[in-house]
Amino acid sequence: MTLLSQTAIDAARELQDVRRTSGQLRRREDELKAIIYDELDGDTKGLLASGMPIVEITEQVRRSVNAPRLEAMWPDIFEKVMEEKTTRVLKITL
């Protein structure tokens, strides 16, 4: 274990605040999107009274692999293409 400096302790406290604020911002973003989607009521563009568009919904396609299905259907191929990655997670316990 390492004894942290006051600078690192302050950084950990600030990071904790940033993470809390980020969560609050994501929730607020979701609330605001819901208001806009509700107002659009299925349309894809929202206009000002002047006719100028200010919001637009577009579709994006994202492709992914269904890993459980791939493993069930072709376990040998699944093992060959499976990758394991390790990430570092910083937990703050103040």
One digit per residue, the tens of pLDDT, for the chain of length 94 reads 899 999 999 999 999 999 999 999 999 999 999 999 999 998 998 988 898 989 999 999 999 999 999 999 999 999 999 999 999 999 988 8
Is-above-0.75 flag for pTM? no
- HEC readout, 52-71: CEEEECCCCCCCCCCHHHHH
